[in-house]
Amino acid sequence: MTLQFYCPLCGQPIEVDDRWASQQVGCPYCQKTVLAPAQSTYAPSAELPAASPVGGMAPASMPPPVPSRQNVVAIVSLVLAILSLACLIGSLAIMLPPLQEALGDTPTPEHVEAYQRQLQQEIQSGSPPPWAIPAGFLMLFGGAFWLSAGVCAIIGAIRPFGRGWAFGAMAAMLIGPLLVCFGGVVGS
Q: Does 27 bind Zn ion (CB under 5 A)?
A: yes
Instruction: Give phi and psi for 35, each to the nearest 5.
Output: -90, 120
Q: Which of 158, 25, 104, 127 is nearest to 119 (CA)?
A: 127
Sole binder of Zn ion in the list 7, 21, 89, 180 (CB under 5 A): 7
Q: Considering the complex, state which of residue 14 and residue 95 has its C-beta at the smaller distance from Zn ion.
A: 14
The residues that bridge with 16 in the sheet, in sequence order, are: 3
Q: Considering the complex, state which of residue 42 and residue 108 has its C-beta at the smaller distance from Zn ion.
A: 42
For 75, 109, 148, 175, the CA distances from 82, given in Å and listed in that order, are: 11, 34, 12, 10
Q: Considering the complex, state which of residue 33 and residue 39 has its C-beta at the smaller distance from Zn ion.
A: 33
- Cα(58)–Cα(88) distance, integer angstroms: 58
Q: Considering the complex, state which of residue 36 and residue 152 has its C-beta at the smaller distance from Zn ion.
A: 36
- Max distance between CA atoms of the chain, in angstroms, equals 99
| Region of 24-32, 47-55, 92-100, 114-122 interacting with Zn ion (CB under 5 A) | 24-32
Q: Does 180 bind Zn ion (CB under 5 A)?
A: no
Closest contact distance (angstroms) between CB of 20 and Zn ion is 15
Q: Does 182 bind Zn ion (CB under 5 A)?
A: no
Sole binder of Zn ion in the list 20, 21, 30, 44 (CB under 5 A): 30
CB 82 within 8 A of CB 152: no
* Binding-site size, Zn ion (CB under 5 A): 6
| Chain residues that interact with Zn ion, rule: CB under 5 A | 7, 9-10, 27, 29-30
